[in-house]
Amino acid sequence: MTNTEKGKLYISGIAVKEGISKNNRKYVAKELDKFAKTLKKRPIMKDHSGTTDSVIGKVTEASSIDNGKMVTYKGWVKGEDIIEKIKDGRISEVSIGAFSRRIVRDKEDENVMIPIDMEAMELSVTPIPGVNGTSVMPQENSSNYNINPAKINDNTQINTNTHKDESTVELEHFKEKESQELNNKKEHLKYNKMVDYKLIAELQTQIEALKKKTNVSNEDVSTSEDFDGYVMEQSESGRGYSFFKYY
């Protein structure tokens, strides 16, 4: 059977992966692991348009890789226009459509929300996905293609005839990129902490100047508050503050 038998193009790829989307949704592995089974048999749409005419195919299988680090899929699409765009690479990514039973705020970033107990509604082909690193690739036939995606984050093509297991190759690339993203986040946090300490030092200078004007003594202290290693103390009169670092 060819990959366009009866007008169908058989496809596979990455549906979603762990990380933060463009709309500040944080997909965590634990939730994606549960989500994967709900994607099977869901429709494949065009650009999340919820109309009958926008249905172009169906997801036939979905799988959780490495306990939810990524979710892969396989399925088929119909329509000359969409098939041509997938084959020539104009469309190379997908985006999930889902609802969640609840959403919680991320402790590390209050602007980021974490969907809990997600259920798939559809999978859409789109040139602008919400999650970086998704993929859609044409396959040779319906019975021989592997659910593991043939295209990953850096657009490296994986030879499906290689003796090395495809999922192993994908995870090696994914973990390498994940490690780099973690290092970048650590550097960002380190920079922010340095900026915070600089701000505290500037505030301390201003406070010392204010204390001189108001004649507030260092002994006139009744309350204190911890600021990440610095302690801010307020005088009983409420007219002065001071900072000191403890170790």
Encode pLDDT of 140-188 as tens digits: 766 655 555 444 444 333 333 333 444 555 566 566 666 666 666 666 6
Same domain (yes/no): 120, 240: no
Residue 166 falls within a domain, yes or no?
no
Domain end residue (candidates: 152, 172, 197): 152
* CA of residue 36 relative to chain centroid, distance: 15
Q: What is the mean pLDDT of residues 65-93?
A: 96
Give the pTM.
0.59
Tokens 């999922």 correspond to: 167
Residue 162 falls within a domain, yes or no?
no
Query: In this structure, what are the phi and psi dihedrals at residue 109, rounded to the nearest 5 degrees?
Result: -145, 110
Q: What is the pLDDT of residue 9?
A: 96
Name the nearest CA neighbour of 98 among 43, 151, 58.
Answer: 43
Residue 161 falls within a domain, yes or no?
no
Q: Which domain holds residue 133?
A: 5-152
- The one-letter amino acid at 54: S
Name the nearest CA neighbour of 137 among 176, 96, 93.
Answer: 93
DSSP state of 110: T
18-35 as b/e: b if 16+ CB within 10 A: bbbbeeebbbebebbbeb
Same domain (yes/no): 61, 142: yes
Residue 157 falls within a domain, yes or no?
no
Same domain (yes/no): 31, 121: yes
What kind and span of H or E run contains 114?
Answer: strand 113-125
Q: Which two tokens stand for residue 5?
A: 């038998």
207, 209, 210, 213: CA torsion to nearest 10: 160
| CB-CB contact of 231 with 243 (8 Å) | yes
Q: Which of 59-73, 114-128, 175-189 has the lowest mean pLDDT?
A: 175-189
Residue 159 falls within a domain, yes or no?
no
Residue 146 falls within a domain, yes or no?
yes
Q: How far is CA 107 from CA 21, 30, 110, 111, 112, in A?
A: 17, 16, 6, 9, 9
Query: Sorting pLDDT into bands at 50, 70 and 90, what band is 247?
Result: very low
Residue 208 falls within a domain, yes or no?
yes
